[in-house]
Each structure stands twice: as C-alpha cells, then as structure tokens.
C-alpha cells in the first residue's frame, strides 16, 4: 500500500517538474482592411473544393478558375513530376522519420543480449594475482566468470569460492585454466523523463513535421502559380504573333501593290522602299516575339518536370478569361498562407527546444532491468538455478560544465528570437505583396479600359484611311501610319493583358491560393481583325 501511495505521488508531481519556456507574446500586425481594396461587382462560382493531388498533401486547385483544360493538365503534370515537389515531399518524410525517432524516447527500450565465451588464463601468473585486462579473476573450473564492468555484462551468478593454496606435493594436478561462459539476457532500459526533456523534444519534432507540411503546401503554391504564369504568357505571345502575322500579310500585300505600281510607272520609288521597310520591321518583330515565346515554353517545360527538347505547347490564339479575385480581409490571409503557418510552427518548435535545453540542469535517471540465464554449460543454460537478474537505477547530474548548459539555453532562446523575426518578416512581406497586387490589378484594369477605346478608335481610323486610299483620296503613307498605330495599340493591349494575368496570379499566390467569389472578365473583347 505504501508503495502504491508513493508511486501515485510521483505521478501526480511529475507534470509540475517539466521545464518549459514561457515565451513572450508575438507582436503580429493587426490590419482590418486593405488599402487598395478591389471592388467586386458580380459573382462567379466559387473555386472547387480541395482535391487530394498528393498522398502527403491536400492542395486546392485554384487554377481551375481560368477554365482552361490544357492549363489543368499542365498543373497536375507539374505536381506529379516536378523535382521541386519531390524534394518537398522528401523533406516532409525526413521530418516524420525524425519525429518517430524522437517519440521512441518516451517508451522503454527492450534489448536481448546473448554471449558465449571460452577463455584460457595464463599459468605464468599467480593464481590470485593480476590478470590481463578484460579477464575476470578466475574461479574454480566450472564457475561462471564476471566481467569487470557490470554495466556491460551484469550476469553475476555466484562468487568464486575462497582460494585454497594447492598442495606442494609433486603428485598434485593443477586445474586447467580454461573457463566457459554462456548467457542470454533480455534487458529493459527506460529514461525517467521527470523534467520533460523527451516530451518537449517530441512535441518540437511534431511542430517540425507541421512546418514541413506547410513547406510542401507552399512549394505546391509557388509551383502552380509559376506554371499558370508561364502558360498564360505563352498564350499572350500566341495572340501577339497572330496580330503580327496578320499585319505582315497586309504589309506584304501593300509592298507587292506598291512595287507593281512602281513597275507600271504610276508612283515613285519612295513608296516602294517605305512599304518594304514596314514589311521587314514586322517580320523582325515576329522573330523577336517567337524567341520570347520559345524561352517561356522552355521554362514551362522545366516547371512541369519535362526536358525542354521534348516539350511542345501547341499554339492557341484564344486567351482564357481574366478572373477578378476578391481579396477578403487581412486576418483570413494570415491563416491561408502556408509560409505564415510554417513560421508559426517553427516558432513553437523553437520555444519547445528552449525547454529541452533547460532540462540539462537537472539529473537524468535511467532504469535498467535484466532477467535471464547464464551458465558454463549449454545443457544447463536454461535450468532454473542458472537464472540471473539485475535491477539498477543510474543518475547523472552535471556539476561543472564551464557554462555549456547556460550557453545552450542562450542559443535556443536566440533561435527562438530568429524564428519570431522571420515570421514577422514573412507577415510584412505578405501584406506588401497583397497591397502591390491589388493596386496593380486595379491600375492595369483601368489601363485596359483606356486601351479598349484606343483600339476601337485606331481600328476606325485605319478603316477610313484604307477606304480613302482605295478611292485615291489619301496617300499610302497615311494608311501605313494608321495601320502602325493600330498594330502598336493592339500589341500594347496584349502586353498589358499579359501583365494583368501576372498580377492576378501574384494576388492568388499572396492570398495563399484562397479567395472569395472570383469574377471572370473576357480577355479577347477588344481585339479586332483588320484587313487591307
């Protein structure tokens, strides 16, 4: 009964012995509204529910808001084959394995020790004198020997009998100095975690696992946004090439027309060279745009985990719709971004590591239990009289470490401060990215509205100039100038649309891949076909 009360008292007092670090509160910025809030005038279907795209992580397919089947295929291909994702999965598996290693310290460790030895002691030494290292004092033949270090081989069976000087008669036969030792001993070892070292180390390892899970989510987010950005850039280059090829066709027709008129003596040579210059200028722009498209396509191949030599993205002049993403409130952004959640997990892991470091001031208790069999003959090894057991409690307490423990604690606290500073920096960068994206989207949207009017006006001016040129009321130079203005305006509109795609993807990334009520706006509404 007394033992039961004593054990209950220890179990009750054990939690109060755990050395924890009471960290100060984290000064997280509080923002109630965005400075550049984006108005939402109409609603579109919410982004699909999260899908299991990897066994290790559930990730929301935010890119489906663009409604592009080819983009969907590339995104899932990138998730499945990108080395970046595989590296993040490997880091997660490493953290989970380390958690399993650390968690094992909370439980007893059971080992099985077996030994078999046969040894001859030198007859040149006195029978009870000094012996060679690692050789126990010999007993009468037939008795089990004992190793000098009981912790290594604690199978103490029975002490040797008192030494009796052998008779001095010449007929006495000396005993053979050969000894045999056999044994099998299960051993249980358990670290009594009075101060919470193993518990807090296990909790810290669990926080590391959570941090790596968020790192995997962040890797997926950065990868999928990069794939979407590269894909949409290729699509805008296709649209730009379609405009340039159409313009080259009209410039070629104009050059041939002017050359025929020059050959007929109707116009001078200046108009011919002017038409040829315009034609070659557009041809050069086609080559430059093709180069940009090729480099972007190669970057897309790297993102989806394919060699650029084997990857080809077919041309498509139709642009996906532009979604308008509602930013929500800043507080939700702090919960959505995986890098911010990762920072919080690392802070908690660092705080627990401080508690682990503080436990080094206190003694470490270890229980060892052995129970098995030992004998000098194999046929007697498992006899009841051959049983042996050992119960031991080891205590190790630091007395003088020359400041090592205090320095270890200071190092753990410094790492905690670094984790907090890194988290706050991530939060500030997140607010900056959201504000930059919101302002850029709104400014680019107004720019596109002006460009739409500009394209319409340039198209009408070109139509009138072309009609008057055919009627002989305008010179060719007027037609070329209006066509050049139309071409420049359409190309600027395409380039601004490309920038708007990038801004939208940046906003999605800065919000952690989550948003509310996205709105789609057509991207091809102000591109017209001009003919000569």
Chain segment 311-337, per-residue pLDDT in tens:
999 988 788 888 877 766 566 666 788
In this predicted model, what pLDDT tens digit does every residue of 468-517 receive, in sequence order?
888 888 877 788 788 888 888 998 999 999 999 999 999 888 888 876 54
Tokens of 529: 């076909």
In this predicted model, what pLDDT tens digit does every residue of 432-478 receive, in sequence order?
988 898 899 989 999 999 999 999 999 999 899 989 888 888 877 78
Instruction: Give percent of the chain with pLDDT exceeding 70.
Output: 74
Q: For helices 404-470 and 476-510, what crossing angle results, to 10°?
A: 160
Is pLDDT above 50 for 161?
Answer: no
Q: Please tell me the least confidently modeled range out of 139-153, 397-411, 489-503.
A: 139-153
Question: Which pLDDT band, with edges at 50, 70 and 90, does 270 fall under?
Answer: confident
In angstroms, the CA 218 to CA 260 distance is 62
In angstroms, the CA 485 to CA 491 distance is 10
State residue 161 phi and psi, 5-degree precision: -70, 165
pLDDT (average), residues 168-180: 63
Smallest CA-to-CA distance from 99 within 191, 205, 187, 195 is with 205
Rg of the chain (C-alpha set): 41
Could you count the other beta carbons within 10 Å of the beta carbon of residue 228?
28
373 in helix, strand or coil? Answer: strand
In angstroms, the CA 438 to CA 418 distance is 30
Q: What is the pLDDT of residue 375?
A: 87
In angstroms, the CA 495 to CA 234 distance is 12
User: Which residues have C-beta within 8 Å of that of residue 116, sequence separation ≥ 6?
Assistant: 181, 182, 183
Instruction: Confirm if 375 and 386 have CB atoms less than 8 A apart.
Output: yes
- Higher-confidence residue of 355 and 265: namely 355
Question: Which pLDDT band, with edges at 50, 70 and 90, does 210 fall under?
Answer: very high
In angstroms, the CA 105 to CA 327 distance is 46
Instruction: Confirm if 29 and 331 have CB atoms less than 8 A apart.
Output: no
Element (H, E) at 325: strand 322-326
Is the C-alpha dihedral spanning 433, 435, 437, 439 positive or negative?
negative
Q: Please tell me the least confidently modeled range out of 41-55, 355-369, 415-429.
A: 41-55
Q: What is the pLDDT of residue 25?
A: 64
In angstroms, the CA 390 to CA 183 distance is 14
Question: Which pLDDT band, with edges at 50, 70 and 90, does 98 fall under?
Answer: very high
Q: Please name the residue that has the structure tokens 């320095």.
A: 407
Q: What is the pLDDT of residue 124?
A: 75
pLDDT (average), residues 6-31: 55
Is pLDDT above 90 for 285?
Answer: yes
Q: What is the pLDDT of residue 131?
A: 41
Instruction: Confirm if 250 and 532 have CB atoms less than 8 A apart.
Output: yes
Smallest CA-to-CA distance from 327 within 127, 39, 29 is with 39
Q: What is the pLDDT of residue 232?
A: 94
Burial class (CB in 10 A: 0-12, 13-18, 19+), 68: buried
Q: What is the pLDDT of residue 51?
A: 37
Q: Spell out a b/e string for 95-126, using b for 16 or more CB atoms within 10 Å of the CB, else e.
A: bbeebeebbeeeeeeeeeeeeeeeeebeeeee
Q: What is the pLDDT of residue 171?
A: 52
Domains observed in the chain: 54-102+199-307+328-353+406-521 (1.20.1600.10), 110-160+175-192+367-396 (2.20.200)
DSSP state of 318: P
Q: For helices 197-263 and 83-103, what crossing angle results, to 10°?
A: 180
Question: Which pLDDT band, with edges at 50, 70 and 90, does 211 fall under?
Answer: very high
Is pLDDT above 60 for 16?
Answer: no
Average pLDDT over the chain, rounded to whole? 79
């Amino acid at each position: 009964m007394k033992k039961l009360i004593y054990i209950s008292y220890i179990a009750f007092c054990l939690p109060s012995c755990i050395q924890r670090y009471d960290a100060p509160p984290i000064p997280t910025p509080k923002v109630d509204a965005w400075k550049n809030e984006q108005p939402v005038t109409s609603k579109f279907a919410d982004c699909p529910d999260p899908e299991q795209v990897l066994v290790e992580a559930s990730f929301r397919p935010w890119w489906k808001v663009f409604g592009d089947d080819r983009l969907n295929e590339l995104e899932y291909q990138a998730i499945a084959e990108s080395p970046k994702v595989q590296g993040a999965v490997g880091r997660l598996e490493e953290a989970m394995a380390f958690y399993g290693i650390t968690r094992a310290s909370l439980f007893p460790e059971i080992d099985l020790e077996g030994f078999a030895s046969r040894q001859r002691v030198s007859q040149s030494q006195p029978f009870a004198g000094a012996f060679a290292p690692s050789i126990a004092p010999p007993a009468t033949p037939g008795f089990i020997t004992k190793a000098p270090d009981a912790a290594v081989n604690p199978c103490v069976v029975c002490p040797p009998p008192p030494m009796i000087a052998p008779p001095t008669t010449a007929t006495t036969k000396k005993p053979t100095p050969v000894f045999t030792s056999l044994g099998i001993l299960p051993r249980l070892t358990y670290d009594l975690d009075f101060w919470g070292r193993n518990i807090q180390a296990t909790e810290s390892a669990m926080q590391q696992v959570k941090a790596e899970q968020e790192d995997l989510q962040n890797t997926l987010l950065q990868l999928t946004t990069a794939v979407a950005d590269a894909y949409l850039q290729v699509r805008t280059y296709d649209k730009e090439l379609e405009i340039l090829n159409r313009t080259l066709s009209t410039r070629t027709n104009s050059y041939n027309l002017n050359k025929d008129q020059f050959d007929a003596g109707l116009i001078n040579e200046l108009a011919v060279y002017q038409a040829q210059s315009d034609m070659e200028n557009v041809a050069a722009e086609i080559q430059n745009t093709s180069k940009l498209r090729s480099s972007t396509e190669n970057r897309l191949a790297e993102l989806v985990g394919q060699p650029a030599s084997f990857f080809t993205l077919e041309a498509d002049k139709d642009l996906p719709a532009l979604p308008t993403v509602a930013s929500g409130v800043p507080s939700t952004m702090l919960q959505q971004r995986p890098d911010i959640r990762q920072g919080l997990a690392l802070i908690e892991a660092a705080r627990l590591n401080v508690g682990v470091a503080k436990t080094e001031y206190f003694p470490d208790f270890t229980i060892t239990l052995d129970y098995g069999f030992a004998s000098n003959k194999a046929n007697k090894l498992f006899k009841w009289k051959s049983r042996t057991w050992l119960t031991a409690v080891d205590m190790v307490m630091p007395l003088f470490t020359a400041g090592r423990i205090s320095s270890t604690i200071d190092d753990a606290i410094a790492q905690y401060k670094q984790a907090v500073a890194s988290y706050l920096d991530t939060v500030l960068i997140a607010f900056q990215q959201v504000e930059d994206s919101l302002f850029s989207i709104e400014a680019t949207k107004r720019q596109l509205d002006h460009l739409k009017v500009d394209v319409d006006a340039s198209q009408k001016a070109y139509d009138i100039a072309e009609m008057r040129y055919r009627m002989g009321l305008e010179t060719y130079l007027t037609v070329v100038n209006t066509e050049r203005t139309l071409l420049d305006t359409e190309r600027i509109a395409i380039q601004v649309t490309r920038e708007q795609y990038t801004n939208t993807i940046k906003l999605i990334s800065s919000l952690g891949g989550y948003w509310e009520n996205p709105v789609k706006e057509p991207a091809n509404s102000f591109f017209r076909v001009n003919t000569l």
